[in-house]
Structure 1
Amino acid sequence: MTTTAVTDIISQTTNTEASTVTDSIEEIISSAMNSSATETDKLQIIMSAIGNKLKASIPDLIMAIVVFFAGIVITRIILRIFGKCMSKANADMAATSFLKSLLKILLYIIDIIITLSILNIPMTSIIAVLSAAGLAVGLALQNSLSNLAGGFIILFSKPFKAGDFVETNSASGTVESINILYTKILTVDNKTVYIPNGKVADSQIVNYSEQNKRRVDMEFGISYSDDIERAKELILKLASEHELILNEPEPPFVRLGVQAEDSLQIIVRVWTATENYWQVKFDFVEMVNNAFAENHITIPFRQLDVHIS
């Protein structure tokens, strides 16, 4: 093949419109490979065709990059506005976190689709690729999809909200947030536990914060030789003096509950505000222990008497 022929083939790619460059490149490569040109000439033709294609695509490529990064910025702005709107509406923090995570993924998908369309990739091809990718991801991430569904169940059934103290899946602590796949719980010893939403939705949930009052149940043992009525009077007196113990929904309850092997067990039930539960429990145990010691009421311990004849 002469130099003039090679030049004529290369010029075809320069004079071709951008919308038909891909077809022209295929034709030029086919013509070059079927020609009698030397390997060097064939390589020159192919490289020139590719170069012209890139030159023709540069404007669209630059625009696609600009639109992609602009989409990221717009996504962040929308998420910020969404968060402020949910905050003004006094929406639950856990629900807000879940919806923001979902909205973020949807906006990124839209951004990618718009970017690909600018590169003149047919929408049918984009949809086909997304469908195939969605099917593949769905098969590979079946557990993750169940966690996503679990997140929706938690969001709409509302067994708890951010800030509640709950117990589920052998973990107990304060709910920090509900994300797309996991519920974040902060334990009392400051450990962060991430529990899959699917397991949370399918398991028993104990919410200690939903009600504004809780009953504190306690037991105190005294010796069989002690005055049980005196012990009950001391406990009732302490309950009436504690400022955090309530008389509603019922006054303090103090009764003999169990005649154990080595002690008489006095059952005590008092009510308090939910946030004061642990303070009342610890305070009352210490107060009863001190009162029993001051009034010479024996706090028994397990012992064994051996009689030798």
Structure 2
Amino acid sequence: MDQSLLVFVTVAEKENFTRAAEELHMTQPAVSQYIQTFERMVGTKLLERNNKYVRLNKAGEIVYHHAKEILGLYTRMQCLVDDLMHTASGNLPIGASSTYGEYVLPHIIAHLREQYPLIKPTITIGNTKEIAELVASHQLDIGIVEGNFKHEKLHIEPIAEDLMFIIISANHRFANRKEIQISELSKEIWIVREEGSGTREATEKMFDKFQFHPHNIMEFGSTQIIKESVKEGLGITLLSHWAVRKEISLGTLKMLKINGLPVSRKFSLITQATQFHTKATEVFLDILRKNEALPELNMNDY
């Protein structure tokens, strides 16, 4: 691996030569020399420097983006070679959209660690679009996301079904109704996820399906914030059964029974479109595809 590339990326992320030197266990003059050599090789300045900060300029942003991808490819290559002689071990960078990452993935990771304690997973949470971009740029080995999308650089396959329900506070006036028409909810405040979220996509599809257009919508960037807001009576929402299992069992949230619901959607597994995967990735994919560690849905709770 080109050491200059690693030094450049570290300086860009630390925004400081001294901190970068400490991270790399090098002297500051050595770091400066690597940067100067690298800039000469590229043919232009990449960093804006002053006494307070070091920042990427326009050329630096381009080089940084590609440098991250190159370093990711190098790390992946080295892991694949190491795997030829060893059992499944090492780092496993995983990305997941919030519903799966926060409410399902911990069960999968626990199952993985029981069988393969030498694998060290790291988890990045983001919306569907963000996770797909990180996998495509080789910064993540695996992504699990909500919603439907296509990407020319990625292999995409459905791995699990998710059921989504309209959720209200236990103190809502409809909480004890046995059945309700969705048209009765038009004047409610609907709390939805941000654009790019799989949960938001499912909500929009439900609105279209019922030709239903709420008068009041609030957009929040976190499922946990939405749940807390609904519990406090701020509005109602559409959420995955995995996200509300605990609150439903405790009685702090209620699920409305409406004809045509629940909404069904798929979680999809995304990986690089290649036949080569590390052993750590392969065993994790095997667990995912068998669905053997997914938390079960008990419809009696609803």
TM superposition score normalised by structure 1: 0.25
Bigger CA radius of gyration: 1
More strand by share: 2
Q: RCO higher in 1 or 2 (8 Å CA, sep ≥ 6)?
A: 2
More helix by share: 1
TM superposition score normalised by structure 2: 0.26
